[in-house]
Amino acid sequence: IADKAKEFTGCKYGLFNIFREEEMVSETVALIGVKDSWQRVSAAIGFPLIGAKWPYDHSLLEKFGDAPILMDLPLHELTKTKIPKALVKMLQKMFGVGESLVCTIYRNGRILGNFTLLFPSNERLTNPYPLQLYARQVGLLILRSKTEKELIQAKKDAEAASRTKSRFLANMSHELRTPLTGMIGFGELLQKTPLNQEQAHFLSYILDASRILKKIVDNVLDYAKIEADTLPIQFDACELLPLCQESIRLVQYETYKKRLSINLDYDPAIPFRLLMDGYRLRQVLLNLLANAVKFTEIGEVRLKVSLENRNLESHFTRIRFEISDTGIGITESDMQRVFDAFQQADCSDTRRYGGLGLGLSISLRLLKKMGTSLQVKSEPNKGSVFSFALDFEVPKEEADSEEAFEEE
C-alpha cells in the first residue's frame, strides 16, 4: 500500500498510518523510502517508527466531507497533525524535505488512516486526483479488514458466551439432579412402608412427577455437556442384544397404555459382544423409541437391528439401527426443525405431546461424537423411520472364539 502511494506521488519518503478507534490514535504501520534512512531517524529520536502512535486531531476533519482529505502543509506545520517536533526536525535535517501532504482516509463516517507524504522544499503534488482515488480503494480495504476482524471477534465472543451458558446449565442441572435423586430414593423407600390406599396413590404421583423431572434435568445436563464438549464416549465390551431388549422394555409401559405394539427385529448374525459406549447407545435408542411412541396413536413401533457389513480380518462390523413408527410423521418443511434443540415440528405438538424437544437433538449430537449421523424418512400421517449405522470392534476374545468355532 505504501509503495503504491509512492508511485502515484513521486515522493521519496512518507508514512502510512492506520487509525485505531479503540485508542483514538494513529499508528504507523509502513514507511515509504530507504529502510536504512528511516532506521537512522528512529535511532536519532530514540524510538522505532513502525508501531509508533500519534494522537489524532479531529478538528482537522470538520470542514471536509466523506472523501480523502488532502492537507498541503509546509513541513514545520506538520506538528498540527500531532507528529512530535523532534521527528519533524529530524526529517528536515536527514531527508532535506520541506513540504508535506497529508491524505486522510475517511469512509462511511469513520477515520481509517492516512498517508503522510514528504517532498523537497517548494515541491508539491500537481495532480492529487490519482492519490484520492487510491485512498478510496485503500479505505475500502481497511474497512473490509476491520469488519472481518470485528466479525471474527464477535464470533469468538458468541462462542465464549455459549460455552459459559453451557457450563452454567451443566452445573445447575447437576445441582438439581442430586436432590431429585434423593427424593426418588426416599419415595421408593416410603413405598415399602405401610400406607393406606390414598397415601399410596398420592406417593405414586409424587414419584412419577419426580422421575419425569429427573429425565428432563438429565436431558438438559447431557445437552449442556455436549455443547461444552465435556461429554466423554467410553468404550467397553457390551452385549448388544440385551441392550436393545432393555431399551424396548423401558418404553413398553407407554405402548401398553396407548395399545400400541412394539417389536424388536434383531439379526442373529450380529456378534454377541461388541466394544461400545453402551450407556450412550442405549440413550440414543431410548430417545428415538420414546419419540416414536409419543407421536404414534395407532399401530406399531419397531426397532430393527441388522448386520450391514463384517470384516473378519480387522474384527470390525457395521450394524444398522432402524426405529420406525406409524405415527403422525414429519413434513418436509419441518424436517430440519425437529433436530434443533428445544424444538418440535409444530408448536402445538409441545402442548399436546409434552417434552422439551431435546431428545432428537441430543441423539444427533451423540451419534456425531460416535462418528456417524442420523437419517430420517417420513411421510405425514403415515409414520417415520430414523436410522443410523455404527462401526463396532469385536473384542479379541469374542473374535477368537468365533474363529475357533468356525474351524471346528
- Nearest-angstrom CA–CA distance, 328 and 339: 16
Maximum separation of any 2 CA atoms in the chain, in Å: 110
Q: Are 15 and 32 in contact (CB under 8 A)?
A: yes
Is 90 exceeded by the pLDDT of residue 275? yes
Alpha helices for 295-395 (secondary structure H): 347-353, 359-369
Q: Are 303 and 241 in contact (CB under 8 A)?
A: no
Cβ burial 241-259 (10 Å sphere, 16+ → b, else e): eebbeebbeebeebbeeee
Give the mean pLDDT of 237-242: 94
- Nearest-angstrom CA–CA distance, 168 and 225: 10
Q: How high does pLDDT run on average in the chain?
A: 80
- Nearest-angstrom CA–CA distance, 320 and 288: 14
Length of the chain counted residue by residue = 408
Q: Is 136 exposed, middle or buried (0-12, 13-18, 19+ CB in 10 A)?
A: middle
User: What digits encode the pLDDT tens for the residues 158-207?
Assistant: 878 777 776 776 676 667 777 888 888 998 999 999 999 999 988 888 88
User: What digits encode the pLDDT tens for the residues 16-46?
Assistant: 888 887 788 888 888 888 888 888 888 888 8
Q: Which residue has the higher pLDDT, 13 or 81?
A: 13
Domains located in the chain, CATH noted: 2-126 (3.30.450.40), 154-227 (1.10.287.130), 236-407 (3.30.565.10)
Give the mean pLDDT of 267-296: 92
Confidence of residue 274 (pLDDT cuts 50, 70, 90): very high
DSSP 394: P
Give all strands of the β-sheet with 25-32 in edge-to-edge order.
53-55, 25-32, 13-20, 110-120, 97-107, 69-74
Give the mean pLDDT of 67-78: 60
Picking from 317, 321, 318, the residue whose alpha carbon sits closest to that of residue 305 is 321
Q: Which residue has the higher pLDDT, 324 or 106?
A: 324
Confidence of residue 13 (pLDDT cuts 50, 70, 90): confident
HSE-CB of 330 using CA atoms within 13 angstroms: 21
Model pTM score: 0.54
Secondary structure (3-state) at 252:
helix
Query: Which residue's C-alpha cell is 488512516?
Result: 113
Q: Are 18 and 113 in contact (CB under 8 A)?
A: yes
Confidence of residue 75 (pLDDT cuts 50, 70, 90): low
For 354, the grid coordinates are 409434552
Q: Which residue has the higher pLDDT, 32 or 293?
A: 293
Count of beta carbons in the 10 Å neighbourhood of residue 287: 23
Provide the CA 351 distance to its chain's centre, in angstroms. 30
Confidence of residue 79 (pLDDT cuts 50, 70, 90): low
